Amino acid sequence: KNQVEQSPQSLIILEGKNCTLQCNYTVSPFSNLRWYKQDTGRGPVSLTIMTFSENTKSNGRYTATLDADTKQSSLHITASQLSDSASYICVVRDRFNDYKLSFGAGTTVTVRA
Amino acid sequence: DSGVTQTPKHLITATGQRVTLRCSPRSGDLSVYWYQQSLDQGLQFLIQYYNGEERAKGNILERFSAQQFPDLHSELNLSSLELGDSALYFCASSDPLAGDHNEQFFGPGTRLTVL
């Protein structure tokens, strides 16, 4: 069973609208949680990173939240743009194995005009 | 541009063949990771090298092998190719000395098509 589960698998939103992506994980204890954006056919690019002591982190119109007690994170996209169409991947790093990363399957976001 | 380069960008070959994918990490990064991403699938970790030594293994098939050279570039060798090996192969690099925020920087990927 994957240690990082993301939902929804995909979603379609209209340009200008907001959306929220979910990430639930079982990795414990964890070192940090990172959200990546992956454009189609390209490598993932880091959006935000949070350690276990952080609750929220913003990067422009992207805001990530973390609840370490419930092992849940979310990524909120505000005022979506066509360029936000991509796959968003949640990655959790194990605290004791510095090479051990657990990847979610990703949420594919499609923004329509 | 992440600073990680991968060649070739595209590769088309036939079943049963062998191919080599190449990755050059960011300057100064000692760790190199290989990932496979099949169509509409998530990233699958294959293998990691650190300063020339194998560090961790993921879901890498026995038909696949990798190595990291003294200049830190890495190669992923895929042999006895099957149709199911068609995928995007990503290389990533990181600086383990960057501490807890050990970010992996991904290359543009190599798209392998096995016919």
pLDDT along chain A (113 residues), means of 10: 88 97 91 92 92 92 95 97 97 76 92 97
What is d(CA B111, CA B100) in angstroms, rounded to the nearest whole number? 31
Assign B100 a pLDDT band (cuts: 50, 70, 90): low
**Mean pLDDT, residues B44-65 taken together:** 92
Beta strands B74-78; B19-24: pairing state? antiparallel
Q: What is the reported pLDDT for A97? A: 66
Q: Mind telling me how many Å the CA of B90 is from chain A's nearest CA? A: 7
Tell me which residue in B48, B56, B101 faces A32 most closely, judged by beta carbons: B101
Tokens of A73: 């994170």
Q: Which helix (H) or strand (E) holds B32?
A: strand B31-37
- List the single residue in A43, A93, A104 with the smallest CB-CB distance to B107: A43
Q: What pLDDT does B101 receive?
A: 66
Taking the C-alpha atoms of residue B87 and residue B13, their distance in angstroms, rounded to an integer, is 12
Distance from the B7 Cα atom to the nearest Cα atom in chain A, whole angstroms: 14
Helix (H) or strand (E) holding B23: strand B19-24
Model pLDDT, residue B103: 84
In this predicted structure, what is the pLDDT of residue B2? 85
C-alpha B50/C-alpha B66 separation (Å) is: 12
Write phi, then psi, for A39 (nearest 5 degrees).
-70, 150
